[in-house]
Structure 1
Amino acid sequence: MLKKKIKIEVIQKVLDNWTGFFLPYQMALHELESDFKVIDLEWKTQHGYSPIEHMKTRMKKLTSLVEKIQRKEIPLTQEAVRNEIRDILGVRIVTSFIDDVYKLKEHIEQREDIRMIRVKDYIQDPKMSGYKSL
């Protein structure tokens, strides 16, 4: 029960004091959606098809964010959260073929407006569940 009470207090603190914290993430998410739509159009023009079957974006829910902050014992400051939590927003792009995943990765790496910080290749080394992604 104590852990739940702390979590509620932390959520309330974030809600009260972090008003503008999520705005840059929401803006970045909209920009990424737009960028990938442009990539989709470029690819169709250059190659006659697009590797993007569909795309889904998401913002981490506040409760999930607070759970991760507590689990990782990150100080409850905007700077610490910005530096330590890498999945506040996410974009999932589904392709029809595995080769297209790597082609799309190369295409993204060549763009100047998107920078990859870290790549986890679960296609070459699938998770225990069998889940494959890049």
Structure 2
Amino acid sequence: MASLPEDQIEELRRLMESWKNELLVYKFALDQMDTKFSIISQEYNLIHGHNPIEHTKSRVKNFESLMNKLVRKGCEMTTRAAKEYIHDIAGLRIVCSFVSDIYNMVDVLKEHEDIKILKVKDYIKNPKPNGYRSLHLIVEVPVYLTNKVEHVKVEIQIRTIAMDFWASLEHKIYYKLNNEVPTKLTDELKEAADVAHYLDEKMLNIRKKVDQ
């Protein structure tokens, strides 16, 4: 920003402040979803005797990332375009104990009338070529403001501890190497993803035996 003319810097500051206020509704949507999953987790534990959710993490996409994504999509640099075309402004990650818990969480969400599931991408049954596994949902939730109701899109990623561990380290490796990862390392990452998947299946089978 220091290399820009002062008037452009000031305009950018005003734009950032305007967007911050306009997109505050996404934080409210995440607050609602955090509360919802906390209730689901506690009730599930009461009924079924185990907590399906290890932990959750939420974030609202920052201004710079949002601008870059609008540019990549060839969209106008407006909040209207962002709300219409960017579906992961609000992101929520749910880390579950077992693969079966992931699908149970999806089934629970389907029963909630206030949540509209718009899209499902199952990278568990259909992993990405690099080995990435997770279940992605785009949902729409109502946010009740003082004088209106806004329907806000939220991206939910649901994965196991092993999937989350692999994805986190894979992201750090790509970031450290500026996305230029040698083929030998990508092959090893794919192998590690397969090992993580094997671990998930092994732990689920053990749990089933314990339940029996």
TM-score when normalising by structure 1: 0.86
Shift of 1:65: 0.6
Moved over 3 A (4+): none
Give the number of aligned pairs.
127
**Matched residue of 1:25: which SS?**
helix
* Alignment-derived partner of residue 50 in structure 1: 51
CA offset digits 1:85-123 (Å, max 9, x no partner) = 000011111112111111111011111232211111000
Give secondary structure in 1 for the equivalent of 2:68: helix
Change (3 A) 1:57 1:16: closer
Which residue identity is paired with 2:107?
A: E
CA drift of 1:64 comes to 0.8
Q: Relative to structure 2, which stretch is displaced further, 15-24 or 38-47?
A: 15-24
The aligned runs of 1:1-134 (5 Å cut-off) are 12=12, 14-134=15-135
Instruction: Letter of the 2:128 partner, please give it.
Output: K
Question: CA distance change for structure 1 residues 130 and 16 in 2, over 3 Å: closer, same or farther?
Answer: same
* 1:4-62 deviation line (CA, Å, top 9, x unaligned): x7xx87x9163153342111001111111111101111111111112111111111121
Contact 2:57 2:94 in 1 (8 A): yes
Alpha-carbon distance between aligned partners in 1 of 2:112 and 2:76, rounded to the nearest angstrom: 34
- Tell me, which stretches of 5 or more residues in structure 2 are unaligned? 136-212
CA distance in structure 2 between the partners assigned to 1:118 and 1:32 by the alignment: 17
1:133 is matched by which residue type in structure 2? S
Specify every segment of 5 or more residues in structure 1 that has no aligned partner in the other structure, as ranges: none
| Alignment RMSD | 1.9
What SS does structure 1 have at the residue aligned with 2:22? Answer: coil
Which of structures 1 and 2 has the larger relative contact order (alpha carbons within 8 angstroms, sep 6+)?
1
8 Å contact kept, 2:66–2:82: no
Question: Could you say which structure has the higher strand fraction?
Answer: 2
Distance in 2 (CA, whole Å) between partners of 1:85 and 1:36 is 23
Q: Aligned equivalents of 1:71 and 1:123: distance in 2?
A: 27
The 1-side partners of 2:33 and 2:15 are apart by: 25
Normalising by structure 2, we get a TM-score of: 0.56
Q: Percent identity of the aligned residues?
A: 39
Return the alpha-carbon distance in structure 1 between the equivalents of residues 18 and 95 of structure 2.
Answer: 36
CA shift in 2, pair 1:130/1:89, >3 Å: same
Q: Secondary structure at the match of 1:116?
A: strand
**Are residues 87 and 56 of structure 1, via their aligned partners in 2, closer, same or farther at CA, if it must alter by over 3 Å?**
same
